[in-house]
Amino acid sequence: MSEKNRRPHRHLAYKTISILSFCVIIALWCLLTYGGMVTELFVPSPTKVLSTTVDMARDGSLWINCWMSVKRVMVGWFWSAVAALPIGMVMARSKVFSAVIQPIIEFARYLPVVALVPLTILYLGIDETQKYVIIWLGTFFQLVLMVCDTVGSVDKNMINAARTLGANRWQVYKEVIFPAALPGLMDDFRLTIGWAWTYLVVAEMVAASNGLGYIILKSQRFLATDVIFSGLITIGIIGLLTDFAVKILTQAIVPWHERLGE
């Protein structure tokens, strides 16, 4: 069988294994709860979580909270990408700029974002801007270094060839560096969107009145583990959909790029 004919079979096998892995997790969950191995106070049953999710969907609270969380994550991450892309690209090509900026970035990326929440409230108040900034802080510093590393790995021979043909600095960035680095940059964006979702609860932990992170923290006070599980599973599903959407976008933007194993 040729390599071309093997690909559909490999793709089907990959999907089958992926589905089975989720089925195993659900089966273990059912075994623990329906088998009476744990109490519903600690681990609610799938039926209880599903019922709670359906109730929230019917009264509209689930959709409102999903929308607010998606909005906060995407706005915070978008401005992180807008700021990180040019800074990371210049850092990769300018040693002087890198010497000035990189130590600051390296220092800031180790600061725990949760410890910055009181300062963001002090400086920005408790409106939506503060929540966007928390998401931004959680992704910007990491993304800058990832962009720098991706751009720095572009083949120097292509850059030298462009300069030999008379390209100026802007043309080198626009016509050579950015297209060559674009597949890696899309992967960087996909990874940092996932990180943005992990900072959602931090962004919504103080002075929030809606959002998936808010209902998770609120439910913690009342030991409503069914609502906590519902919120966590909803975040996971939205995260998977976001990841899938970015993968599709990557294939549309850089169709020539193929990963090892794809």
- pTM for the whole structure: 0.84
Which residues fall within 8 angstroms of residue 172, CB to CB, at 6 or more apart? 159, 162, 163
Structure tokens at 199: 């900072």
Instruction: Give 56's Cβ-side CA count (13 Å radius).
Output: 23
Counting every residue written for the chain, the total comes to: 262
Measured CA to CA, the distance from residue 90 to residue 83 in angstroms comes to 12
Measured CA to CA, the distance from residue 217 to residue 227 in angstroms comes to 10
Measured CA to CA, the distance from residue 216 to residue 233 in angstroms comes to 11
pLDDT digits (tens, 9 = 90+) for 202-249: 888 777 788 898 898 888 888 889 999 999 999 999 988 998 898 888
**153 phi, psi to nearest 5 deg:** -90, 0
DSSP alpha helix (H) spans, the chain? 3-34, 46-58, 61-93, 95-108, 113-124, 128-152, 156-164, 169-171, 178-198, 200-203, 212-221, 225-253
Measured CA to CA, the distance from residue 166 to residue 171 in angstroms comes to 9
pLDDT values of the chain reduced to their tens digit, one per residue, 262 residues: 455 555 666 667 777 887 888 889 889 988 888 888 888 778 888 999 999 999 999 998 899 999 999 999 999 999 999 999 999 989 988 889 989 999 999 999 898 888 888 898 889 888 889 999 999 999 999 999 999 999 888 888 888 888 888 888 888 888 888 888 888 899 899 999 988 988 888 888 777 788 898 898 888 888 889 999 999 999 999 988 998 898 888 888 887 766 544 5
What is the pLDDT at residue 4? 54
